[in-house]
């Protein structure tokens, strides 16, 4: 076996979880990572951190040549990292700012742009190369880590997802309605799944789980059972 082959053979697995808005990816990925003794990476949080950087730079009105020039400059210097469960932007923890109004929408609008996707893919591959990671997002099993050992696609009925997101927003003091949440979620899913680059879709070899009628625990148990059936028992 070549030394590269040996390194690959010794590498701990990579688990990917993709899916639409509010399918429960973050909670499930965090729990699964804990059960396996793996790191957990939310790539959505990385796109949101970039959206925050764009907002802070006053570049929210996406479009035009001036925007393209300034975006390139920002992408060349911006530092986004995920470690110990925190997201940092240029060295500062920004977790709480990632759920500010409009950041999800701005992240989705930015995520159609080629230079943004290239930057994110490179960062995310670097994070997962040594294995032992549960990484969740939209294109992790299809584009970022197509060679991952375990791939899941987590889905749920739009109304169920809207209800979950609505409950979270109300609990955090945001005034909104279920219909408004459902409309926003539908629009974002539409953009994320119809974009030209790395659209949201299940990888051909992903296990699709519909969580509409399942608890977080049931979803995690199902994933763990599958991973263990392939003789991997965590670390
Ligand atoms: O998972 P989230 O809702 O925090 O993601 C915010 C946006 O980031 C999402 O609407 C699209 C984009 N995104 C992406 O394009 N690719 C990923 N792997 C993760 C998120």
Ligand 1 pocket check for 139: Cβ under 6 Å: yes
Closest approach atom of ligand 1 to CA 195: 15
Give one DSSP letter per residue of the chain, joined into a string. Answer: --HHHHHHHHSPPEEEEE-STTSSHHHHHHHHHHHHT-EEEEHHHHHHHHHHHHHHTT--S--HHHHHHHHHHHHHH--EEEETTEEEETTEE-GGGGGSTTHHHHHHHHTTSHHHHHHHHHHHHHHHTT--EEEEESSIIIII-TT-SEEEEEE--HHHHHHHHHHHHHHTT----HHHHHHHHHHHHHHHHH-SSS-S---TTPEEEE-TT--HHHHHHHHHHHHHHTT----
Neighbours of 205 (CB within 10 A): 11
What is the rounded CA–CA span in Å between residue 82 and residue 40? Answer: 9
Percent of the chain surpassing pLDDT 90: 87
Ligand 1 pocket check for 107: Cβ under 6 Å: yes
Cβ-in-10-Å burial (0-12, 13-18, 19+) of 72 comes to exposed
Percent of the chain surpassing pLDDT 70: 94
Nearest to 99 by CA among 148, 204, 171: 171
| Ligand 1 pocket: which of 55, 138, 156, 161 to mutate (most atoms within 8 A of CB) | 138
What tokens were used for 115? 């230079």
Domain 13-223 CATH assignment equals 3.30.420.40: no
Counting Cα atoms < 13 Å in the Cβ hemisphere of 128 gives: 28
**Domain boundaries of the chain, sorted by first residue:** 13-223
pLDDT of 1 strictly over 90:
no
User: 26-80, pLDDT tens digit by residue?
Assistant: 999 999 999 999 999 999 999 999 999 999 999 998 788 899 999 999 999 999 9
Model pLDDT, residue 10 = 64
pTM: 0.94
Ligand 1 pocket check for 111: Cβ under 6 Å: yes
């Amino acid at each position: 076996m070549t030394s590269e082959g040996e390194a690959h053979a010794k590498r701990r697995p990579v688990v990917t979880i993709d899916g639409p808005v509010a399918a429960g990816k973050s909670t499930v990925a965090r729990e699964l990572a804990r059960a396996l003794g793996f790191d957990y990476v939310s790539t959505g949080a990385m796109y949101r951190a970039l959206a925050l950087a764009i907002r802070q730079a006053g570049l929210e009105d996406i479009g035009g040549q001036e925007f393209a020039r300034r975006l390139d400059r920002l992408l060349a210097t911006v530092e986004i990292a995920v470690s110990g469960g925190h997201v940092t932007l240029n060295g500062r923890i920004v977790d709480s700012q990632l759920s500010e109004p409009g950041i999800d929408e701005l992240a989705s609008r930015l995520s159609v742009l080629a230079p943004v996707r290239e930057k994110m893919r490179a960062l995310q591959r670097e994070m997962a190369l040594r294995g032992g990671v549960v990484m969740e997002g939209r294109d992790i099993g299809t584009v970022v880590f197509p060679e991952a050992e375990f791939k899941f696609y987590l889905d749920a009925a739009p109304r169920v997802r809207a209800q979950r997101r609505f409950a979270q927003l109300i609990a955090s003091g945001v005034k909104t309605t279920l219909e408004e949440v459902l409309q926003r979620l539908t629009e974002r899913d539409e953009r994320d799944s119809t974009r030209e680059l790395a659209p949201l879709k299940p990888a051909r070899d992903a296990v699709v789980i519909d969580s509409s009628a399942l608890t977080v625990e049931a979803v995690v148990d199902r994933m763990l059972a599958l991973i263990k059936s392939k003789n991997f028992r965590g670390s």
